[in-house]
Chains A and B, each alone.
Chain A
Amino acid sequence: MEKRKKTFKTESPEETQALGEQLGKTLKSGDVIALIGDLGTGKTCLTQGIARGVGIAPDEVVSSPSYILINEYNGTVPIYHIDLYRLENAEEIAELGLSEYIEGDGICIIEWAERMANGLPDICIKIYITWEDENTRFINIQHSVSR
């Protein structure tokens, strides 16, 4: 099992977006990103940066999919922005049919990914965001091959 870990510190939403953009530039079709972090830590903010990095049009809005569950954007590859906030249990998540997205050709970014722990593919990028104070975040990125 291989695991690469790195932790970044950001001190503003703009810095979080910039980090996301850098990460986005390294992504390729089929990648799955699992975002894990409490309310207000900046998961959507980081996703905005990632989507820029993947090359979506400057005027395309990357907003929170909490209500609609899945937003789709056109980057150099399709981006599926998934949000499990409203889903409480494995059954509800299973009914959403995420495997079609995860096994597809796009890039999947999943907010509240810990809620589908067993449903995540073995190979994915896990990002843990923790809250230091109102503006400071620690962003731990793990490229993993695990169960």
Chain B
Amino acid sequence: MKILGIDTSCDETAVAVVADGREVLSNIIASQVKTHQAYGGVVPELASRKHIEAINYIVKKALTAAAVTFSDIDAVAVTNRPGLIGALLVGVAAAKSLAYCHKLPLLGINHIEGHIYANFMVHDTLTFPHVCLTVSGGHTLLVEVHEGWKYKVLGGTQDDAAGEVYDKVAKYLGLGFPGGRIIDELAQKGNPSAIKFPRPMRNSGDYQFSFSGIKTSVRYFVEKARRTGVLVEGERTDVKRANLDVITIEDIAASFQAAVVDVLVYKSLHAAKATGARTITLTGGVAANSHLRASLKAAAAQSGAEVYYPPLSLCTDNGAMIAGIAYQKYQQGLRDGLSLNADANGSIAAESPTA
């Protein structure tokens, strides 16, 4: 069974074709398409208008890349919650039109369910229940995932998402975008113990997160370090060697990353222990972070738990994960009518809760 999956919940116009919930036949993301000229010469981002300009072209490209036509497609799935309402509406309107024109079943999908499902697409041995950590620019969420795609939300961020705080700290330090990858690379050359940044809510005894305070601490540290002259920026290898008390941007990156990853790993492990899950899955854009992967794996190994993460193409926002979970939902009997609407909020807590 082949499903066309559409996601326009935020920046990306993403469309994919997936067979039987696992086999990715195509997975197209507009910002990664080289020939932008084909739909007006603009990289789609943020605005509904950009999604409108891109959507038909990206659908066509997803079909072509999968070497299929609409006569081969068995259902249309679309992210209709949660997200930026104007952006979601474009995907929903497109999916409804396609379902109507080609007389196909339509399924409205929760974006977070897609992220959670991503690991199942590539890891045959993934068992239930497992604990899933979704970390991206917009989300930081710990969820217990049970057989039959039932969920129990354990906790999430109370302010900034993990990926967001990476981007903001990188921009503040003048490192550019994408912040996650740049800080991850710099951190490998720095001392993670150089600065003791706070670990907000680490010992709160629940599964909530707060990353905004780490960002504030980095800013405070940098301003003070610049004033007192201990922060050495630019060409400074010799200075660093001559004076052990100085701090480099690499040290700040490593210490910042250590603080964020420490809290993520600690709470994920704690969740796995408390729920008896033997597997922790990592998903979302920040799942590509090398230190997070390595730390989580090392910590999990100590308690005999396993860690799974998907390839990058399934970590970031994409249509394949939407088509994937839609296959499971289709098997469970889900069908949405043409009255399907977009919902900006649509919490995962409302999706098939456990018990």
Contact = CB atoms under 8 A, between A and B. Distances in A.
Contacts of B164: 64, 66-67
A92 B345 contact: no
B2 interface: no
A63 B215 contact: no
Contact of A92 (B46, B82, B85, B216): B46
Contacts of B48: 95, 97
A95 B45 CA distance: 10
A64 B212 contact: yes
Contacts of A1: none
B216 A96 contact: no
Contact of B217 (A42, A45, A134): A134
B157 interface: yes
A134 B213 CA distance: 10
A92 B47 contact: yes
B215 A39 contact: yes
A73 to B, nearest CB: 9
A40 B47 contact: no
A97 B212 contact: no
Given A68-B83, A69-B46, A63 B159 contact: yes
A61 B207 CA distance: 14
B158 A63 contact: yes
Contact of A63 (B10, B47, B157, B168): B157
Contact of B156 (A42, A61, A72): A61
Contact of B47 (A13, A61, A95): A95
Contact of B46 (A42, A61, A71, A95): A95
Nearest to B10: A68
Nearest to B46: A92
A110 B342 CA distance: 23
Contacts of A85: 168
Given A68-B83, A70-B85, A134-B216, A39 B157 contact: no
Contacts of A134: 216-217, 220
Contacts of A96: 46-47, 86
A13 B47 CA distance: 33
Given A67-B138, A69-B46, A45 B86 contact: no
Contact of A40 (B85, B86, B137, B219): B219
B113 interface: no
Contacts of A28: none
Contacts, number: 76
Nearest to B345: A72
Nearest to B217: A134
Contacts of B172: 39
B212 to A, nearest CB: 6
Interface in B142-191: 156-161, 163-164, 168, 171-172
A86 interface: yes
B115 to A, nearest CB: 14
A27 interface: no
Contacts of B82: 68
A67 B160 CA distance: 9
A84 B210 CA distance: 21
Contacts of B47: 92, 95-96
Contacts of A42: 216
Interface in A68-106: 68-72, 85-87, 92, 95-97
B160 A66 contact: yes
Contact of B159 (A64, A69, A92, A95): A64
Contacts of B156: 61, 63
A61 B84 contact: no
Interface string B117-137: 000000000000000000011
B137 A67 contact: yes
Interface of B: 10, 46-50, 82-86, 136-138, 156-161, 163-164, 168, 171-172, 212-213, 215-217, 219-220, 344-345
Given A40-B219, A63-B157, 5 more contacts: A13-B213, A40-B216, A45-B212, A67-B137, A69-B10
Q: Lowest 9 A-B CB distances belong to which pairs?
A: A95-B47, A67-B138, A40-B216, A67-B137, A134-B220, A40-B219, A64-B160, A68-B138, A72-B344
28 contacts: A39-B171, A40-B215, A40-B216, A40-B219, A44-B159, A44-B160, A45-B159, A45-B212, A61-B157, A63-B157, A66-B164, A67-B10, A67-B137, A67-B161, A68-B10, A68-B82, A68-B84, A69-B46, A70-B84, A70-B85, A71-B344, A72-B345, A86-B46, A95-B47, A96-B46, A96-B86, A97-B86, A134-B220
